[in-house]
Amino acid sequence: MSPIRQEIQGYIGLLPDYQLEALRPLLALLLTETPVVETDLTDEEKAIILEGRAEYVRGGGVPLASVI
């Protein structure tokens, strides 16, 4: 087993199941041959994304661990 694989599996082994839920979609995306890019966002979804980006620029945001 490669060192990077061992390191990543070690991290995964330390995470509780509820945090693995956040990792699952990313791993599934990495395993697909073709990335999926959603292009048919609603106006509401676009507004939410823009507000999130603006909040990030202002230094805001919430750590993932506090959301889960």
Better-scored residue on pLDDT, 60 or 6: 6
pLDDT in tens, 21-53: 989 888 888 888 777 778 899 999 999 999 999
Q: Which residues 6+ apart lie within 8 Å of 15 measured at CB?
A: 23
In this prediction, residue 63 carries a pLDDT of 75
Written as six digits, the tokens of 57 are 């620029």
In this prediction, residue 1 carries a pLDDT of 86
Provide the domain count of the chain: 1
* Domain coverage including residue 9: 3-67
Report pTM.
0.45
In this prediction, residue 4 carries a pLDDT of 93
- CB 19, CB 68: distance < 8 Å: yes
Q: What are φ and ψ of residue 39, in 5° steps?
A: -115, -5
